[in-house]
Structure 1
Amino acid sequence: MFFIYGGSFIVGDTKTYGYKIISDNIVSQGIIVENCFFSTDNDPNFSGNLGLWDQLEALKFINTVIHDFGGDKNRITIVGQSAGAASVSLLSLNEEANDLFSQSISMSGSAFSQWATKNNISEIALKVAEKLGCDLNGPPKIKECLKSKNITDFQAAILPYIQFSDPVDLNPVPIGPKLDGDFIKARTLEEALQKAPKKPSLIGVCSQENVLYALSMPGSTTPPGKYFGHLPESVSNYSKTNLEEFVTVVLAKEKYFGKNVDAFVKEVMSDVHFNIPALREAILKAKNQYPTYFYLFDYNIDSSDNSSKYVQGSAHIEDVVTLFGSLYKEVKIDKNGKKVQKQFAELIENFVKTGIPSMGTINVPRIIPNSFKYIQINKKPSIKADLWKHRLEFWNNIGNKYGFDLASGEQIKNNSFKQEL
C-alpha cells in the first residue's frame, strides 16, 4: 500500500499516523505500507503540480526498492484519504504512473471535487507571496523569493486562507493541483479517465462527512444559520442570479427546516464537498469499464466521541482513523468498534491482495450499468443499492438547470450531467 495522507494539500506528515494500529490491522496480514505525502500561479515561468510530481517520484522509488522489503512491484495499491484521495485520482491518470501501480483506493476525496483542482489561483498565490514578504514586481522576482522560503514559512502564509471555519465554504482549500496539460495530458478529467488503463478502483465516503467541520452542538462557536450568507461570496464565477437566490433565500431560511437546519447544512455540504464527486467518479469509471467498487463507512469508531449523541454516522476521516488510529488523540474502541475495525481492515486487505473487496462471506459487487451496489460498513455490514440516488439526481439537475455545478465548481453546458447508470 502506497498511502498518500490528507491535509488540504498543505498540512500533515507521516509521523502523524504512527505505526501501531496500521501494523496490527494491515501489516500483520503481509501487506507493506509506505506513507507518502504546488506552484500556484498561472504564469509559464512557474512549473505546476510539484506536489503531484513528488508523489510520482516517490511511487517510482517504491517500485525500485519494494522487492528488497519482500514486496511485489506488480501488486502496488495507491491509497489516499481526503486531499490524498484526490491525489490518487490524479496520479492514476498520469501516463508515467500507468505501470507503477495495480489498483487504487480513494477514501473521502476525489479529483472531481471543486476543492481538489484549481484552474486559476493566481490571486491567492500573489496574496501568499506578499505575506511571505516577496517583491511582486514580476514572476522572476517572485519565484526567486519563494525559493528562499521553507515549508514552515509557506504553511504559516497559507493557513489563514483555509476556510474550514465556515462549514459551507464551497472551496475551503486555497491551493492545490491544477489541470495544466502536463501532469495529465488531457483537457478534462473525463477525457483523461477515458484514456487511462482500466484498473480496479475502490472508492468510499463516510456517512456524515461534513460533521467534522460543521457540527453545531453545545459549546460550538458557530451558531446555527450563520453559514448561508457566505455561500455566494465563496464562488467568484457564479453566473446565474437564480442559483444565488436559490441557495441564499430558499435553502438558507431556518424557518423552513426549524430544528433540522443544522442537519440539513451538514448533509448538503457533505454532498457538495465529498459525496457527489465520489459518486460521479465511481459511475464514470464504471461506465468506462473500470472494475469499480464502493463503500459507505457508517460507524463512529471512537466510543468516547460525544458527537455521536447529536449526529448518527461517521465524520470525515473516520474510516482512516479506523485503520490508522486517530491523528490527534487516543481513540477508545469498544467491543463493537473492534469488530467493525477488524471487518474494515479485512475489506481493505482483500482488495489490496486480490483486487476485489470482501469481508467474511460478503463479496462487494462491481458497479455495472443499471446497478450501483455498495457495502455499508457498520456493526452489521451489508450490500445495498443506489446510494443517494435522488440526491445525485438533484445536484445533476441543479447544475443542468442553472448552468453552474456546486460540486465541481464548473460551468455546465448542454445538460452535461447524464451520469445515471
Structure 2
Amino acid sequence: MLLILSLLLFPLPITSNDPFLVETTYGTIRGFPLNIDEDTTPKTVKMFLGIPFAKPPINQLRFEKPQEPKKWKNIKDSTERAPACFPHVKKGMMTLEKDHSEDCLYMDIATPAWESDDGHLYPVLVFIHGGGYQTGTTREIPEEAMAKKYAKNNIVFNFLKGFASTGDENFAGNYGLWDQLRALQFVRDNIERFGGDPQRITISGFSAGAASVSALSISPLSNKLFQQTIQMSGTFFSEWAVSNRVVFETEKMAKFAACDNTLDDSKELKKCLKGKTVEELMDAVERMGSARMEPNSLLFTPRIDADFFPKDVKTLLQNAPIKRNLIGVADTEALTFILLLDKENSMDGGMSVKPEEIENYSRKNFENFVRNIIAPKKLFVNENEGKEVQQKIIDFYLSDNGEVDGKNKKEEALYFLRKYLDINTDLMFIVPMLQEVHYKFEKGWPVFMYMIDYYNKKYYPKNIPIKGSYHCVELPPLFNITACPFLIEDFSEEDLEFEKVLLTSVVNFVTTGNPSISTLKWHNLNTKNPLQFARLNPTNPKMESALYPEKLQFWQKLTENYSFDLIRGLNKETLKSKDEL
C-alpha cells in the first residue's frame, strides 16, 4: 500500500563552516554539491538525500500512525536516495526500481548555494506524487531536473502506507495521510534551517497527489501547515479519491492473505496482516484484482474516519482556513486509462478499450456502461428512479447523436468512443473539480483554474485514432518524468514552449501567489465569471469565461433531484457507499 510525496522548495544557503552540514531537530546531516548551468552561469545546488522524517514503518509499526524518527548522534551522510516504496502489486513496479523497501519514509532536499537578492527566506513548494495511492515513486524525478527546473530548493518525500482499513478505531486507515502530516510537520520544524520560509509553503500534487492536497487542505490536523495549494488533475471531491469501500476491499485482501479467520476482530486482523511479508500482501492484492472496472477504480483510498476527517468533506471545506489555490485538468484525462495504459498496468480495472476493439465500439457499449457501471438501478430508492437517471445521462451525452447519421461504421464507433472518454473524464476529474472550486469560491478562496489542451501527436501510437491532452501531460514539463503514459525521448520546440508556459506559471504562483506570465494575465474566479479559466497551450494561452458550466449544472441537478450522488459515490441520506447499499 503506497502513497508518494515529494516536496520542492526555494531557500537560502546554509551558513556553516561546512556548507554541506545542516543540523536538523533529530541530528546533523551532510549533503553534497550538484553543479548546474543556469542561464549559462555555473551554479551549485546543495543536495541532501535520504533524510528520515519518521521511524521506519516496519514490523509492529506497519499500519500505524507514523512516529518521529529516532535522534542520531553522529553526522549522517545524505548522499544517496532511500529505496522506493513498494506498490500494491508487483505489476505496479512500473518504474523498474530494483531497490524497494517498506523503510522508505525519507525526504530529499536540494537547496541553492547562492544567496537570495533580498536576504529573505525563500518560499517552499511541496509536491505529492500521483499513482492512484498505489504506484509510482518520486525517484522518477531526476535530481538534475529538481535543481534546474526549480533552481531553488526541492524536497522529495517517499513513503509507504496505503489506506487499508476495517472502518473502526482499531484499524481506521488513512495511514498515508498521517505520513504526509508527519512529513509536513518535519518541514515546518526544519525548513528554515535550509533557508525555507515556514510561513510561505505551497503544497501541490498530481492525480492522487492532488487529491491528497485537497484532503490536507480541509483536515483540521494539517490545514494550518501551509499557505497555498496547487492541484493538478485531482480532487478529494471525486469518488475515487475518498470512499468507505476501502473497508470491504480490506476484508477481501485479508481473505486472500489467509487472514480471513480474523475478520470479526479488527485487532486480530491487523495483527495478522502485520505478520505477512510484503510479497504475500502484494500477491493477495494481485489475486483479488488490483482495480475495479469503473471510474472509481482504486481499492485502497482514504476514508472519512472521524479522526483525520472529523466531519464530511463539504463541511470540512466550509470550516477550513482560506488559501490561494491553483487547480486544473487536461481536456481528455481519461485517454490515459482507456486507450493509452498498457494492459498490465495495475490501474487498468478493465475500463480500457484495446486497439482491436475500437472499430466495434457502439451505442450499445456506451449505454451498457451507463446502465451497469455508472448508474446501476440498485443504487437508487426504486427501479423507476434508477431508469430515469440512466436515461437522463444517456440523453445528455448523446444529445448531438444526429452527428453520426449517415456515417460509416468506423466514424460511428469513434463518436461513441469519444462519448465514453467524455463521461469518464467528467466523472473522474472535471465535474468533481468544478464542484470543489464552486464551494471554494462561495467561501472566498482565491482560485485560479486552468485546462490544458496541448499534446504532441508524435508520441501517440499509430493505432490510437483519438488524441487529446491526457492524464500525465504535466509531468514531463514540470519534472522530466517521461514514461507516463508513453515514453518521451526528446522534447520538440513546441514541447519546450509549453514547458515554459506551465513551469513559469507554477513558479510564479509559488513565489507571488499569482500564476500570471508574460503571455497570459491570469484572473481568479470572481462574481462575474465564477468558472473562468486559463486555457494552457504553447502557442496561444488565454483566459476564457467558463469551463463546462453545462456539465456542472447537469450533474449538480442530478445530485439534487435523486437519492444517490454519482459524483461522490454516496447515498445522500445515509452517506453509504455503493458496497454498503
TM over 0.5: yes
Q: Distance in 1 between matches of 2:241 and 2:474?
A: 20
Residue 361 of structure 2 is matched in structure 1 by 224
Query: Quick one: percent identity of the two aligned structures?
Result: 29
TM-score w.r.t. structure 2 length?
0.65
Give the one of 189, 201, 204 matched to 2:313. 189
SS at match of 2:428: helix
Query: Residues 39 and 351 of structure 1: is their aligned pair in 2 closer, same or farther, counting only changes over 3 Å?
Result: same
Give 1:163's aligned amino acid. Answer: A
Give the one of 322, 332, 354 matched to 2:512. 354
More RCO (CA 8 Å, sep 6+): 1
Q: Which moved more, 1:240-249 or 1:387-396?
A: 240-249
Query: Residues 247 and 196 of structure 1: is their aligned pair in 2 closer, same or farther, counting only changes over 3 Å?
Result: same
Asked whether the equivalents of residues 302 and 333 of structure 1 are also in contact (C-alpha less than 8 Å), the reply is no
Task: Give CA-to-partner distance per residue, 1:72-117, whole Å, 9 cap, x none.
Answer: 2222111111111111111111223233111111111111001111
Q: Distance in 1 between matches of 2:388 and 2:141?
A: 43
Q: Residues 279-290 of structure 1 correspond to what in structure 2 (within 5 A)?
A: 279-290=434-445
Asked whether the equivalents of residues 128 and 204 of structure 2 are also in contact (C-alpha less than 8 Å), the reply is yes
SS at match of 1:181: coil
Alignment of 1:117 with 2:260, yes or no, is no
Asked whether the equivalents of residues 52 and 87 of structure 1 are also in contact (C-alpha less than 8 Å), the reply is yes
Alignment of 1:387 with 2:531, yes or no, is no
Q: Residues 257-406 of structure 1 correspond to what in structure 2 (within 5 A)?
A: 258-259=412-413, 260-301=415-456, 303-306=458-461, 310-324=465-479, 325-328=481-484, 329-371=487-529, 372-379=531-538, 380-406=540-566
Shift of 1:173: 0.7
Alignment of 1:154 with 2:281, yes or no, is yes
Q: Which runs of 5+ in 1 are unaligned?
A: 414-421
Alignment of 1:214 with 2:357, yes or no, is no
Give the one of 24, 29, 34 matched to 2:156. 34
Query: Residues 293 and 355 of structure 1: is their aligned pair in 2 closer, same or farther, counting only changes over 3 Å?
Result: same
Shift of 1:333: 1.8
Q: Which moved more, 1:58-67 or 1:218-227?
A: 218-227
Q: What is the number of residues matched between the two proteins?
A: 407
Q: Which moved more, 1:374-383 or 1:254-263?
A: 254-263
Q: Which runs of 5+ in 2 are unaligned?
A: 1-124, 340-351, 405-411, 574-581
Give the one of 139, 144, 148 matched to 2:271. 144
SS at match of 1:359: coil
Query: Residues 323 and 244 of structure 1: is their aligned pair in 2 closer, same or farther, counting only changes over 3 Å?
Result: farther
Give 2:379's aligned amino acid. Answer: Y
SS at match of 1:394: helix
Larger Rg: 2
Q: Distance in 2 between matches of 1:305 and 1:79?
A: 28
Shift of 1:154: 3.3
Alignment of 1:16 with 2:137, yes or no, is no
Task: Give CA-to-partner distance per residue, 1:137-180, whole Å, 9 cap, x none.
Answer: 3323211111123445434433553436x4xx132111210111
- Over aligned residue pairs, what C-alpha RMSD do you find? 2.8
Asked whether the equivalents of residues 2 and 77 of structure 1 are also in contact (C-alpha less than 8 Å), the reply is yes
TM-score w.r.t. structure 1 length?
0.87
Give 1:273's aligned amino acid. Answer: M
Shift of 1:228: 5.1
Q: Which has the larger helix fraction?
A: 1
